[in-house]
A and B are shown apart, each in its own frame.
Chain A
Amino acid sequence: MTYDVYMHFPVLAIMALFVGAFLVTLSGKREVLRNIIAGAAVLIALTLLALLIKPVMVDGEIITYWMGNWEPVNGYAIGIALEVDALSLFFGLLVAIAVACSCFYSFQYIRQDDARGGYFTLYLMLAGGVMGIVLSGDLFNIYVMLEVMTFAAVGLTAFRTWNPNAREAAFKYLVVGSIGSSCVLLGTALVYAQCHTLNLAQISALIPGRMNPTMVLAFALLFTGFGCKSFMFPFHPIAADAHGAAPSSVSVLISGVFTKTGVYGIIRVSYFLFRSMGLTSMQTGLVFIGCVSMFVCVTMALNQHDFKRLLAFHSISQIGYILTSLGLCTALGIAGGLYHAINHTLFKGLLFLTAGAVLYATGTTYLEKLGGLARKMPQTAALFLIGAFSISGIPPFNGFYSKWMIYQATFEKASETGSIGYALVTVVCVVTSVLTLASFIKVGQSVFFGQMPLEYENVKETPLSMRIPMWIMAALCVFTGVAPNIMINYVIGPATGAVLNFPGYIDAAMGEGYAAATITDTGYLAEPRLLTIGAWNPVNWLLLFVVVLAAVFLVSILGKRDRGEVNCAPDSKHAVFFGGEESQYSHVASGDLFWGFKHNLRGYLGFMSKAHSGVTNDYVLWGVTALAVIILYCFAFM
């Protein structure tokens, strides 16, 4: 067997991060040395993955790397494999970019904190764990790396131990994250019992012949487990608490990277292993979860009084977009979802870094206390605007393009299937986008514009070492927005092809012809069609606008009815977990730019306020309920 040198790159990229983590421990209190080690580790990982773009993305090769040369014997994969196809590399690159930017940002950012050595150890462990998940070709190794990643993230959430919120959030995160991990472990065990192998490619080849109730249960468990890691709808309150308390450079990882592993896991499980996405019921289920996540979280975000909690809810809202788009199971939908995944990592990373810059300069992230900072921190304000325009989908920036693809994919699906439901999905997507823009207007008005409180008279712009990573992310936001053709040709297109090319994945690992020998129904997915970007039918869009208009009228008519008083006031006992704390002084009338909106939706928001009680038991109950519902749904329709 011949080896090219790049075959070693995936394992070296993972090991660079882990060795970096341990070397940081050895460096002790020598700060410069520690920064050099951490920076070198993330740059090595990024470089190694970037060098793989040529063979994997352009030449379409699938790298299978057997640890210790334990190759399959008699058609059984007994060794542990790393398998890197275009999808893995896509997520790996996205991880590496976010990790590198955030790492260089945090050199300066965490100078105010103690225990900086532990920070970088955990940080690199988290990065290595995520990298291990996306590059692995072994189900149990994915679980192990999931645990490494989760515990590192919990530790980093509690990093500012002087802050009681951080300790509380870390505890919630630990408990609810463990539900996800347990689900994945149980699912893995069931799959192993049925297929007698843990290799993803071989499981994928064997499952069609062994589809029985146990495997349905395994699918439901794996799906819920990865869904928990991506903080999809019933798990979303944890994300808000964790993001609000963690340092901003860690929030970038939790939001941009950690949640993507959940998305990656859902893609692998649904499209590769069980290939259940061909079923209409599974498509409907995933799209429904995505839409609910999207809409619930964006309305929650409108109510936040804390910059980072607001961003956290938007993060889940954008994950909802990605899940919706992936649930369509069309080439355009998958491409749109993947494009939105990388865009989300970039713009949400940028926004969290600007939130961190505000925190670094002023010491608070409460929207009501801040104001007028654009005068003192012009570059941060500009960066925030780039991020806000990107996430809201304003044309020159990247969010517009991926959202456009998602709208088009949902609408195309509606015209294909002839179902009104998918047209409604498009409406939900558009409305969510509008609400996203609205909430970022609120943030911009409260933090960077308006009247500046006197106490921020001496605030300075953040140091250059923090601004450079932010500018890099902003530049990438603009680049992915203005050059979508390059992205589609070299990154998104191959990754989309990889999602649909599971026989190639199996053959790369198990030898040529293995997939054809075991799988009979290879045609569950249509051949990847050429992406029809930019082609749109004006009549359809006119219909869409009519639907939106009708929806607006419906809401305004319903709004007239008196629904009685619902206590949505911030001073009730548990409202802190709903909208964050509210300060006394505010330069915004009535404490909030969108008080009228809130007033009109008080019925819905009052219910949500009661639901977000902040009690860990409640959140666990939500998670277990979600698991039960998903299991029942899978048994009923799979």
Chain B
Amino acid sequence: MNKKWKRDDLIVRSLADNYLPIALVLGFYVILHGNISPGGGFQGGVLAASGVLLLYLGYGFRGIATAINMERMHRLEAVGAIAYVLFAMLGIFAGYNFCRNILWYSGNIGDLWSSGTIALMNYAVGFKVLTGVGFLLLLVIYLLGMGEDEEHDGTIPTMEHEEGGLSK
């Protein structure tokens, strides 16, 4: 990586400012309409997670470290996965099989809320992918930043497995 490249560049930062909301809105749109249009939780989640990269391009490592809590993002990924399993288990509680759509008769065809629990499972997948891919990108950026001296100013977000050896 070219070390002379400045992350404080005004043009890049302005573009990031403008494109970050667009990326997030597009991502959430695709997640939200996953049940009635092409795309879905996975695709929308990846789109929204690209916001992490825009943030990095615009504000550099320090910006990311102040804006995003890496540890929390890691945990929210697990929450997304558990939420998916719980929504899928609703089928069992309703007397059918795992993953069964139990409110399929709700709403009119084409409405946003018309697919019952499928939509909820889709949102859970979107949330999991958003946080999971976001965490992966953060990890990659963190590893890239390790090679550059000026980034070692204490703003590096801590990772769980960096602090091993502590036991109660």
A residues sitting closer than 8 Å to B (CB atoms) are: 3, 7-8, 11-12, 15, 18-19, 22-23, 25-26, 28-29, 31-32, 65-69, 111, 113-118
Contact = CB atoms under 8 A, between A and B. Distances in A.
Interface in B70-97: 74-75, 77-79, 81-82, 85, 89, 91-92, 95-97
A113 B99 contact: no
B97 A116 contact: no
Looking at chain A's contact residues, the main secondary structure is helix
B101 A68 contact: yes
A313 B95 CA distance: 49
Given A18-B85, A25-B78, A69 B166 contact: no
B160 A67 contact: no
A114 B98 contact: no
Given A15-B85, A25-B75, A114 B165 contact: yes
16 contacts: A7-B97, A11-B97, A12-B92, A15-B85, A19-B81, A22-B82, A25-B78, A26-B75, A26-B78, A29-B166, A31-B168, A65-B97, A68-B97, A69-B96, A69-B100, A111-B167
A456 B91 CA distance: 58
Nearest to A14: B98
A68 B99 contact: yes
A114 B82 contact: no
Contact of B82 (A23, A69, A115, A116): A23
Given A68-B100, A117-B160, 20 more contacts: A8-B92, A8-B97, A11-B97, A15-B98, A19-B85, A23-B82, A25-B77, A25-B78, A26-B78, A28-B160, A29-B160, A31-B167, A31-B168, A67-B99, A68-B91, A69-B96, A69-B97, A111-B167, A114-B165, A116-B164
Contacts of A28: 75, 160
B161 interface: yes
A80 to B, nearest CB: 8
B85 A113 contact: no
A91 B27 CA distance: 42
B100 A114 contact: no
Interface string B102-121: 00000000000000000000
A67 B97 contact: yes
B161 A118 contact: yes
Contacts of A3: 95
Interface in B138-168: 160-161, 163-168
A506 B139 CA distance: 46
A115 B168 CA distance: 14
Interface string B45-73: 00000000000000000000000000000
Contact of A22 (B81, B163, B167): B81
Nearest to A82: B98
A508 to B, nearest CB: 16
A19 B98 CA distance: 14
Nearest to A161: B161
A101 to B, nearest CB: 23
Nearest to B118: A68
A19 B79 CA distance: 10
A12 B93 CA distance: 12
Contact of A11 (B74, B98, B101, B163): B98
A117 to B, nearest CB: 6
A174 to B, nearest CB: 17
A574 B81 CA distance: 45
A138 to B, nearest CB: 13
Residue in B77, B95, B164 with the greatest tally of chain A CB atoms within 10 Å: B164
Given A31-B167, A31-B168, A69-B100, A23 B78 contact: yes
B74 A25 contact: yes
Contacts of B161: 114-115, 117-118
Contacts of A29: 160, 166
A25 B167 CA distance: 16
Contacts of B92: 8, 12
A124 to B, nearest CB: 12
B160 A118 contact: yes
Residue in B74, B96, B98, B167 with the greatest tally of chain A CB atoms within 10 Å: B98
Contacts of B163: 114
Nearest to A24: B78
B78 A113 contact: no
Contacts of B79: 22, 26
A115 B85 CA distance: 26
Nearest to A117: B160
Contacts of B91: 68-69
Contacts of A116: 164
Contacts of A19: 81-82, 85
A65 B167 contact: no
Contacts of B168: 31-32
A261 B91 CA distance: 29
The 4 closest A-B pairs by CB, nearest first: A114-B164, A115-B161, A22-B78, A68-B99
A273 B98 CA distance: 26
Contacts of B95: 3
B153 to A, nearest CB: 25
Contact of A18 (B77, B81, B98, B160): B81
A8 B98 contact: yes
Contacts of A115: 160-161, 164
Contacts of B167: 31, 111
A566 to B, nearest CB: 45
Nearest to A119: B161
Nearest to A22: B78
Contacts of B97: 7-8, 11, 65-69
A29 to B, nearest CB: 7
Nearest to B82: A22
Contacts of B100: 68-69
B98 A68 contact: yes
Contacts of B89: 15
B115 to A, nearest CB: 12
